[in-house]
Structure 1
Amino acid sequence: MSSTKRLLASIHDVGPRFEAEVDQLAELLENRLGQGRFAMLVVPDHWGAAPLREDKAFQSRLRAWSDSGIEMFVHGWFHRDTARHVGAASFKARHMTAGEGEFLGLDEATALRLMREGKALIEDAIGREVAGFIAPAWLYGEGSLAALRQAGFALAEDHWKVWNATSDRVLAKGPVITWASRSTARTASSLAFAALARTVLPHALDTVRIAVHPGDVTKPSLLSSIDATLSRFARSHHPARYADLS
């Protein structure tokens, strides 16, 4: 296996609200990739109903995961999108997520404040720097992108690339392989794409990204597809860290 071929895997929406689901996904990833060979995307207060700041027990779990080698990313603040959108942003908000694109419509000052507060909160919990920032639903508006360049993060990611958050230098290209649980049609589409990716992408991409979400555990078909996809890419791509890109 070439050391230049990397597999980057991540668990999204990590926080007290989905602790049981995160445990199940972490076990699945660890079984296929090894201890600490994936990332967690942490939401400071998911939909305003699960504040990490007040949950010392979950903060301790984050630190233990981080100590084991798992990279920690700031993943928005609330994760919920409350902005009113027009034009292309309106299309993205309706069709690329279900009210989850929190950083799509934020102005620069608000985005920067939430980024810095999330960074400080999670770094205090884990006792080290976070790996970077990834917006909920991978959606960024102009204000969020401008804020990102000032917030002090090393890395950022969207659907199609990973980049240096300060310089904008692209570090890896290619689609994220992910799954959808919120409708039968979206589930079927995500299963089909994952099957295609297992055939095409091992030869096409040096860096492959796989992302899983708490909702994935609600459907056995998704868990089976995730397991098959992790297994396939672990044979051709080395389970790596996002920091290896920089």
Structure 2
Amino acid sequence: MPRSDRRLLLSIHDVSPRFERETDALVERLTRLSGGLNFAMLVVPDHWDQAPLAGDAAFRRRLRHWSDHGVEMFVHGWRHRDDSGQGGFKARHMTAGEGEFLALHRHEALQRMTAGRALIEDAIGRPVSGFVAPAWLYGPGALAALGDAGFALAEDHMRVWRPDTDATLARGPVITWASRSRPRIASSLAFAALARTALHALPTVRIGVHPGDTGVPAILQSIDATVASFARRRPAGRYRDLLPG
């Protein structure tokens, strides 16, 4: 039986008209594994400047439908691409040029956060749950802007926190998969296997999936095994459940 004092948080990253087919596949998978629309979507307003949400009324209607049926929505950057060339080690080794918020100054970071929030909230007709930077990477300017933007929640690789107080609400590594090379696939499969044994003691376990996962059968099998392993012992919940009251 799932324990009520343990929580499983599931999320689909890079939700965008650019990845509509992959998003549908992940929605079907997580719905089956979690017993409903018990997950979050991290929405990119204009992925790599190639898929503007503002110009796709049909996809905005789909976001509202998912939101109306319980899916949490997060702002996930603006374009999900770092054009600055100033992200340093993290930009080179932790992401394929997608650390959009690593090198932004505070004013520019706040502008993108605010514009993304307005666009997504207009689409879904309710407040977003929070903000997650692309690749979970934040520079000093982005962290400062979070304090101005008024989001209830933020997340990185190791924690979920309240931007207004910097209070940590959940701690522990996100279980996720990397699909862009064989070594990264192998290492992410190994970590997921380890996590299925090692992370059950955590009060909150987070699992994030990406569009690229849908093209790698071994990753899909690992997602199934990992979500099922944790869902047997804890209910899939909402990020907002972490907030007091």
TM-score, length basis structure 2 = 0.98
Conservation of the 8 A alpha-carbon contact between 1:35 and 1:68: no
> Which residue of the partner structure matches residue 163 of structure 2?
165
- Give yes or no for the alignment of 1:119 onto 2:117: yes
> Which residue of the partner structure matches residue 79 of structure 1?
80
Following the alignment from structure 2 to structure 1, what is the Cα–Cα distance between the partners of residues 16 and 45?
Answer: 7
TM-score, length basis structure 1 = 0.97
**SS class of match (2:178):** coil
Conservation of the 8 A alpha-carbon contact between 1:157 and 1:163: yes
Following the alignment from structure 2 to structure 1, what is the Cα–Cα distance between the partners of residues 85 and 50?
Answer: 22
Unaligned runs of 5+ in 1: none
> Which residue of the partner structure matches residue 16 of structure 1?
17
> Which residue of the partner structure matches residue 213 of structure 1?
210
Deviation at residue 152 of structure 1 after TM alignment: 1.3
- Give yes or no for the alignment of 1:56 onto 2:57: yes
State the AA in 2 paired with 1:18. Answer: F
**SS class of match (1:81):** coil
> Which residue of the partner structure matches residue 241 of structure 1?
238
Alignment of 1:47-196 (within 5 A): 47-85=48-86, 89-196=87-194
State the AA in 1 paired with 2:62. Answer: R
Following the alignment from structure 1 to structure 2, what is the Cα–Cα distance between the partners of residues 19 and 2?
Answer: 34
Deviation at residue 35 of structure 1 after TM alignment: 1.9
Conservation of the 8 A alpha-carbon contact between 1:159 and 1:176: yes
**SS class of match (1:150):** helix
CA-atom RMSD in angstroms: 0.7
State the AA in 2 paired with 1:231. Answer: A
Following the alignment from structure 1 to structure 2, what is the Cα–Cα distance between the partners of residues 34 and 132?
Answer: 24
**SS class of match (1:226):** helix
| Bigger shift: residues 47-56 or 26-35 | 26-35
**SS class of match (2:199):** helix
Following the alignment from structure 1 to structure 2, what is the Cα–Cα distance between the partners of residues 206 and 63?
Answer: 30
State the AA in 2 paired with 1:138. Answer: W
Task: Provide Cα deviations, 1:54-105, integer angstroms capped at 9, x if missing partner.
Answer: 00000000000000100000000000011132xxx51111111010000011
Conservation of the 8 A alpha-carbon contact between 2:30 and 2:37: no
Following the alignment from structure 2 to structure 1, what is the Cα–Cα distance between the partners of residues 85 and 189?
Answer: 32
| Bigger shift: residues 41-50 or 1-10 | 1-10
Percentage identity across aligned positions? 65
Deviation at residue 5 of structure 1 after TM alignment: 0.3
